Amino acid sequence: MTGPLLEVDGLVVDFSRRRRRLRPGEEPPRKAVDGVSLSLRHNETLAIVGESGSGKTTVARSVVGLQKFGAGSIRFHGTELRTVSRRPAALKREIQMVFQDPRSSLNPRMTVRAIINEVWRTHPAIAPRDRATALAELLDDVGLDPSVADRRPAALSGGQCQRVSIARALALKPTLLVCDEAVSALDVSVQAQILRLLVDLKEEHGLSLLFISHDLGVVRQIADRVAVMRRGEIVEFDDAEQIFVHPAHEYTRQLLDAALDLAGADD
């Protein structure tokens, strides 16, 4: 297929509502996302990295359709995307999101089986009689034992919960997985396992990943290309190798230095 899978062009999200007169010397309120453009190729992992508050989640939510945007466009397979309520079902299915906190994003009262079946009930992709087999396959895909199907989130570890979240996102066979700080709440060793899983799933299912993280160490393990965000803007967008070895922007260098300091502090 030609052309990128996802194209974000001049995206603007502004949460400040009222325009009031600024006091002398006061800076105008910043837009959460201020003219972000990026593209994601088929079967690529594109990371957005930047410190807290830089606008990463707002970009992710716009792509998934949870956030209205004021200006700019988001195209998927060349089709203009609006918010979720105005997307055709087929498009909703194709873009799925994995959230940061695996526990709070899963309903504590439901078993894993019920959590996944709920997805299949609202988007009837799998006929009821095929669901048990499909669930077993899905759990196997994310490296969970079949017995997990009848447990609730409280009976699972953080890593297992995140595998369930990934299974839920995969249940509709999306082409694009948006992972917003998907490993940030996990211990380093569990992080590595989930990153490995995402890489394997990407290869096996031909997925593309929009991988969002404030953690350059994590991004380095998974990204093909990296967009560095700061204060609502992308300051650098390049191959991961370039970003990590020859960062062009001063801010990227600062982030790298800070990440190195942190890594050193662990020893």
In which residue are the tokens 């439901």 written?
A: 110
Residue 54 binds what, of Mg ion, ligand ADP, none (CB under 5 to 8 Å, by partner type)? ligand ADP
Asked if 213 touches Mg ion (CB under 5 A), the answer is no
Q: How far is the CB of 47 from ligand ADP (least distance, A)?
A: 13
Q: Residue 147 interacts with ligand ADP (CB under 6 A)?
A: no
Nearer to ligand ADP, 58 or 191 (CB): 58
The answer to whether residues 193 and 208 touch, using CB atoms and an 8 Å cutoff, is no
CB of 104 to ligand ADP, least distance (A): 16
Question: 56: how many CB neighbours lie within 10 A of its CB?
Answer: 26
The CB density around residue 136, as the number of other CB atoms within 10 Å, is: 12
Name the one range near ligand ADP by CB under 6 A: 51-59, 95-103, 131-139, 153-161.
51-59
Which residue, among 6, 3, 1, 2, has the nearest Cα to 210 in the 3D structure? 6
Stretch 10-39 residues interacting with ligand ADP (CB under 6 A): 15, 32
Edge-to-edge strands, sheet with 6-13:
33-40, 6-13, 71-76, 79-80
Q: Binding of ligand ADP at residue 47 (CB under 6 A)? A: no
Question: 35 contacts which partner out of Mg ion, ligand ADP, none, CB within 5 to 8 A by kind?
Answer: none
Binding pattern for the stretch 53-82 against ligand ADP, x by CB under 6 A and - elsewhere: xxxxxx------------------------
Q: How far is the CB of 134 from ligand ADP (least distance, A)?
A: 33
57 is a site residue for Mg ion (CB under 5 A): yes
Which residues contact ligand ADP by CB under 6 A?
15, 32, 50, 52-58
Which residues contact Mg ion by CB under 5 A?
56-57
